Amino acid sequence: MDEPVKKTEKKKRGTVKRIVKILLIAAALFVVLSVLATALVPVFMFGRSDGGTGFNLVYSDADAKEYPRERFTFTSRGNELVGYLYARDDPKGLVVLVNGIKNNSDVHLNHIKAFCDAGWSVVTYDATGVGESEGNGTFGLAQVKVDLFAFLDYLKTDEKMNSLPVVLFGHSAGGYAAACALGRYEKIRGAVVISAFDTPSETMAYHAKARVGFLADVEYPFMLLGNLIAFGADADAKAHESVAASDTPVLIVGGSSDDTVPYAVSLYRFKDEIGRCGVEFYMPEEEERNEHSTPWLTPEAAEYINTWNGGEVDRELANELDPDFLGVVLAFFEKSVSSAS
């Protein structure tokens, strides 16, 4: 009777080994596919971009004599980035425009003109993988912060700009970068942070979960690993911690109908937690202006963009600045510079 029992036990052990082997192969395949997906997603999501949309103004829409600009270059992680300085005589300071992901240096042309008209010099640039700048792509949300830090390092060496007090004006990923840059350069006197998220990983995970559900939770560790490999120490800083730790004035702007950076992942949600002197919060009253890229627009411009259904674009209307919001920003800039004098 012993022989049949031994054969049965051997058969069972063989079956267990096969199951374990299959599970190990499946786990290995899952890891390999997850790593590949983590590597490929940024290629498709954050590839090269010309940096504009059909709604955006371009520099040729401005009067070049009234708003002359000087081209310059600086390096970010081995890529040469192209920027433009709009210099004014005896400026109040330097506004550094930090654009959102894949947006080029012309995207906020009406802001550039308005800031110049108010007596400020303005600088803006194409980020890595955007417009005139080098790079195969943006690689991820943290790249905007990396590029801003690279510009601030360059700024310290530029004799035309480094004598000026600096204020930052950042939108979306640019707002995140601006918040993280507080304390990075001693001449930063203030920052306007619009529609910013708190961390790149949290934001990516939120959108992934909205698209693929629980699979996003499964893939989350691989996403963190990919972000860490791409950006190292710059991968996932918390914007709210940077704001709380700094004594630099900050104006944080949010939109209640922002689907790109919803409240659940926004910097704005820390309104009650940050709680230090010098941090102000602003949310537009009008429903049309409460989306991701509309807080600075007139209600008419915001409504036009939100209801546009094709055809020729009225780019002037689509970029019409809200005078009240512009006044809030300019007053904040001036107060920030004067309080630090």
| CA 262 centroid distance within chain | 14
Using the predicted structure, report yes or no on whether residue 8 has a pLDDT greater than 70.
no
Strands (E) located in the chain: 70-76, 79-86, 94-98, 121-125, 166-171, 188-194, 250-253, 279-282
What is the predicted pLDDT for the residue at 204? 79
Q: Which residues contact 47 (CB under 8 A, 6 or more apart)?
A: 129, 136, 137, 138
C-beta separation of 283 from 269 below 8 A: no
- 157 sits in the region (left: phi over 0; alpha: psi -120 to 50; else beta) called alpha
The two structure tokens encoding residue 211: 């698209």
Domains and CATH numbers, the chain: 46-199+237-339 (3.40.50.1820)
Q: What is the DSSP letter of 264?
A: G
Question: What's this model's pTM, rounded to 2 decimal places?
Answer: 0.86
In angstroms, the Cα distances linking 278 to 25, 240, 243 are 56, 14, 10
What is the predicted pLDDT for the residue at 34? 47
Q: Which residues contact 292 (CB under 8 A, 6 or more apart)?
A: 172, 195, 255, 258, 259, 260, 261
Confidence label for 5 from pLDDT (cuts 50, 70 and 90): low
Identify the residue whose tokens are 């791409």.
Answer: 230
| pLDDT tens-place string over residues 290-303 | 999 999 999 999 99
| pLDDT tens-place string over residues 119-139 | 999 999 999 999 999 998 877
| pLDDT tens-place string over residues 144-202 | 999 999 999 999 999 999 999 999 999 999 999 999 999 889 999 999 999 999 999 88
Longest dimension (CA), the chain: 103
Q: Which residues contact 255 (CB under 8 A, 6 or more apart)?
A: 195, 283, 284, 289, 290, 291, 292, 294, 295
What is the predicted pLDDT for the residue at 203? 85
